């Protein structure tokens, strides 16, 4: 299957027309169904496309790498034709989006980074080191049970049902975040020309360096929502979609 096969990239809206394309990239252990609610919420302003990243969802058999993930995004953008394309991502997906923007600083109409405004070293990497250790201790069955208890209670119910139906993946947590820790950070935004949204919750450990990221990209706008954590895009899709709508309106004018 190609990186952009229909099984790996799901449209969350059906009537594409000539609307701008918003590609949304999911976080660790999840899949493109993380954005299940966003197509209907944003259908009047953009088409939403939510692919499964390598090593996740229907692409679980692929080995994750930033090179393969950014190649996948490049193919999707090429297929989009001559319309504005905006790229957003949450957590791991945000670092993939950042990496693509670094490689193609003039190609995007906008970049939305959610829960990834943290240098992925030191405090910014602590959570994922713990997650990798937990995976190694609990194994796939134990991790699936933990996710059912944790995400199953916190996440937007239709979204969590869609994510579970497509299948999660735990095996490549260490591989994926090893890539992020080696290559990603605020430096990737220095040459990016498009409007950038740095979106996160006040309780999100991966939003702690938002000002540092904004310093690297003076056109960046920081939005910090009080009393929201790293799972904000999963727990409150209407709130996050409203912030994305505001950013889209700014980026497309």
Residue 179: give its domain's CATH number. Answer: 3.40.50.1820
CB atoms inside a 10 Å sphere around CB 212: 15
How many domains does one find in the chain?
1
Residues 6+ apart with CB under 8 A from 189: 98, 101, 102, 196, 213, 216, 217, 220
Q: Which residue has the tokens 């096969």?
A: 5
pLDDT reported for residue 135: 59
- The H-assigned helical ranges of the chain are 38-42, 66-79, 92-103, 123-154, 157-166, 173-183, 210-216, 232-235, 237-251
d(CA 142, CA 140) in angstroms, rounded, equals: 6
pLDDT of residue 129: 66
**Residue 85 counted as domain residue:** yes
* Per-residue model confidence (pLDDT) at position 99: 99
Domain-located, residue 106:
yes
What is the C-alpha to C-alpha distance for residues 30 and 45, in angstroms, rounded to an integer? Answer: 25
Domain assignment of residue 4, yes or no: no
- Give the structural domain span for 243: 9-251
Supply the pLDDT for residue 108: 98
Residue 89's pLDDT band, with cuts at 50, 70 and 90, is very high
The confidence score (pLDDT) of residue 222 equals 99
* Tens-place pLDDT, residues 91-106: 999 999 999 999 999 9
Question: Would you say residue 116 has pLDDT above 70?
Answer: yes
**Separation between Cα atoms, residue 142 and residue 215, nearest integer Å:** 41
Q: Average the pLDDT over 10-37 and give the result.
A: 82
Tell me if 66 is assigned to some domain.
Answer: yes
What confidence score (pLDDT) does residue 98 get? 99
- What digits encode the pLDDT tens for the residues 117-163? 999 887 656 666 666 666 566 666 766 777 777 788 899 999 999 99
Q: For position 140, what pLDDT does the model report?
A: 67
| 250, 229 Cβ separation under 8 angstroms | no
pLDDT tens, position by position, 193-239: 999 999 999 999 899 999 999 999 999 999 999 999 999 999 999 99
pLDDT per residue as tens digits for the range 51-77: 999 999 999 999 999 999 999 999 999
Local confidence band at 40 (pLDDT 50, 70, 90 cut-offs): very high
Query: In this model, does residue 109 exceed pLDDT 70?
Result: yes
Q: Which residue carries 């912030």 as its tokens?
A: 243
């Amino acid at each position: 299957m190609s990186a952009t096969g229909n099984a790996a990239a799901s449209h969350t809206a059906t009537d594409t027309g000539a609307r701008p394309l918003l590609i949304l990239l999911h976080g660790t252990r999840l899949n493109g169904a993380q954005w299940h609610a966003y197509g209907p919420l944003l259908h009047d302003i953009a088409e939403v496309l939510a692919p499964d990243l390598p090593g996740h969802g229907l692409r679980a058999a692929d080995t994750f790498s930033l090179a393969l993930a950014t190649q996948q995004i490049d193919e999707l953008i090429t297929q989009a034709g001559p319309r504005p394309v905006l790229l957003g991502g949450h957590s791991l997906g945000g670092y993939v989006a950042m990496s693509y923007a670094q490689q193609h600083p003039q190609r995007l109409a906008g970049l939305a980074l959610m829960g990834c405004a943290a240098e992925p070293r030191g405090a910014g990497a602590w959570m994922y080191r713990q997650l990798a250790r937990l995976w190694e201790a609990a194994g796939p069955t134990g991790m699936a049970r933990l996710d059912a208890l944790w995400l199953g209670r916190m996440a937007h119910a239709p979204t969590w049902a869609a994510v579970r139906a497509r299948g999660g993946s735990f095996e490549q947590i260490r591989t994926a975040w090893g890539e992020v820790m080696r290559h990603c950070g605020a430096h990737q935004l220095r040459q990016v020309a498009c409007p950038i949204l740095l979106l996160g919750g006040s309780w999100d450990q991966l939003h702690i360096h938002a000002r540092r990221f904004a310093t690297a990209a003076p056109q960046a706008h920081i939005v910090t929502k009080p009393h929201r954590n790293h799972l904000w895009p999963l727990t409150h899709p209407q709130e996050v979609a409203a912030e994305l709508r505001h950013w889209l309106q700014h980026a497309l004018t």
